[in-house]
Amino acid sequence: MLLNLDPRSNTPIWEQVVHQIKELILKEILQPEDKLPSVRELSGTLLINPNTVSKAYQELERQGIIETLRGKGTFVSASITPKADEQKIAEMKQQFKQLVIDASYLGIDQQTLSLWLKEITEELGGNNDND
């Protein structure tokens, strides 16, 4: 499993790992019940510390996206139920607004954002039918 990490980014490495694994699952590259690489293995591949991977895995587990089976390893959850947490949705909308504002100052208008949204949705939902 290869992830794209940027150690210079402001977003912590463990969070980048979380994001990208979530993306892989959405794209169905990682499927329910699939085994994730072990903490040591992934830390070796990504050239980061095991603790950092561990933190990412723990966060993913906290979100109900993966599960760890004692002594066996870590697996993608069989059923990922979205929690409609009101508060988090409000936060997300707020983030979204800030993003739109920042975009505006980069000269990006609504149409472009709308296009991006479409592109991204297709990229994520486009599964692997035509592989």
How far does CA 33 lie from the centroid of its chain? 17
Shortest distance in whole angstroms from residue 42 CB to a second copy: 18
Token pair of 1, please? 């499993």
Q: Does 85 bind a second copy (CB under 8 A)?
A: yes
| Partner from DNA, a second copy, none binding residue 98, C-beta < 5-8 Å depending on class | a second copy
Token pair of 29, please? 């590259």
Among 3, 15, 23, 28, binds DNA (CB under 7 A): 15
- Specify which residues 68 forms β-bridges with: 74
Q: Does 26 bind a second copy (CB under 8 A)?
A: yes
Give dist(CA 25, CA 52) in Å, integer. 20
Three-state DSSP class for residue 16: helix
| Partner from a second copy, DNA, none binding residue 28, C-beta < 5-8 Å depending on class | none
Shortest distance in whole angstroms from residue 14 CB to DNA: 4
